[in-house]
Amino acid sequence: MFNPLNAILGLFSLDIGIDLGTANTLVAVRNKGVVINEPSWVAINKRTREPLAVGAEAREMVGRTPATIVAIRPLRDGVISEFEITEAMLEYFITKVHARSFVPFPRPRVVIGIPSGVTEVEKRAVFDAAISAGAREVHLIEEPMAAAIGAGLPVAESRGSMVVDIGGGTTEVAVFAMGGIVVSRSIRVAGDEMDEDIMAYMRSKYNLLVGERMAERVKLRIGSGYPLKEELTMPVRGRNLITGLPQEIDVSSIEIREALAPSVNMIVDAVKDTLDDTPPELVADLMDIGVCLAGGGAQLQGLANRLAEEIRMHVWVAEDSMTCVARGASKILENYEMLHKVLVGLERGSTHH
């Protein structure tokens, strides 16, 4: 319904979309794009649990902090394991964006993309955190829906479309039609698990203990889901478990592909299972439009090729795949009709002050 007051407020207010990701939190402002892109890390005082730093600054502290400070990822597995800390993180980011804008009033309208596994209680906590951070209006949206909108998929139309959002902690597969999610699956296998695959492989094959950050670097540089035109190698550093001494070993992309196979296979299976559950009419639509990959993990070299071969459909990586959720969330506020279509049943009572 058209509300003139809302329309006028809308002209001046800040519309913010937030991707509360397991690995990265992004904030996009309507008409401006992504203004914050930081790791979802918070450093806290171990004893008082008081947050000391958020985002990149907090991640920098990992492994370098005195015993009293600990850096954590409150959303690591796609569930909000650390309530107050998630709240502190959200408040920090909203306040940061709001403080930067030249219009101090009215307060922002916020759409937050949350992992689809979160419980009602967790949703409530996210909602309350956004309100207490100064939001005038808060809407929650399931991450894959926001990703699909950010990727430009026709989610509001009757024809079906599909997104596979591969993040840090979770992979979410969803099929959309008529503004709703028709079938979906969420698995706790994504970028982090790939890093762990690499660590396990290096340990068992070379007795080399490598850190998480090193494993991620290996994945980004030479990781793949499909044979590369030109296979690569890179030196990997760690500690030899037998000698206890530092060691550097040259590793090939062929080996790393073998290391990543368990995670990649689970992602492939999640997509296949979702397709199995999809009504045939929508599968037919997907054969036209293909399957869209989003999230940071979508950028793993050759993953799209591997999936395409397995499901015999066109598979493509969304443009700027890591920012789809945040851009999609902020875009929803442009369009009230869309807002009501896609948020039905998810909105936990929007609040006006």
Residue 191 binding partner per list Mg ion, ligand ADP, none, with a CB distance cut-off of 5 to 8 Å that depends on partner kind = ligand ADP
CB of 20 to ligand ADP, least distance (A): 8
Q: Which stretch binds ligand ADP (CB under 6 A): 89-97, 124-132, 228-236, 290-298?
A: 290-298
Q: What is the rounded CA–CA span in Å between residue 352 and residue 48? A: 34
Burial of residue 94 (number of CB atoms within 10 Å: 0-12, 13-18, 19+) = buried
Give the nearest distance from C-beta 64 to ligand ADP in angstroms. 20
160 scored as a contact of ligand ADP (CB under 6 A):
no
d(Cα 278, Cα 295) in Å, to the nearest integer?
22
Cβ neighbours of residue 243 closer than 8 Å, sequence gap 6 or more? none
Q: Per CB under 5 A, which region of 18-26, 98-106, 228-236, 328-336 contacts Mg ion?
A: 18-26
* Phi, then psi, of 338 in degrees rounded to 5: -65, -40
Nearer to Mg ion, 51 or 144 (CB): 144
Beta strands, E only, 256-342: 291-294, 315-317
Q: Does 261 bind ligand ADP (CB under 6 A)?
A: no
The CA-CA-CA angle for residues 192, 72, 108, to 5°, reads 95
Residue list 201-260, contact with ligand ADP (CB under 6 A) = 216, 219-220, 223
Given 167, 169, 238, 328, the residue binding Mg ion (CB under 5 A): 167
When asked if residue 21 is in the footprint of ligand ADP (CB under 6 A), the reply is yes
Residue 11's φ and ψ, nearest 5 degrees, are -65, -35
- State the DSSP H helix or E strand holding residue 126, giving kind and residue range, or none if neither: helix 120-132
Smaller CB distance to ligand ADP: residue 223 or 238?
223
Instruction: Give residues in contact with ligand ADP (CB under 6 A).
Output: 21-24, 167-169, 191-192, 216, 219-220, 223, 295-297, 299-300, 322
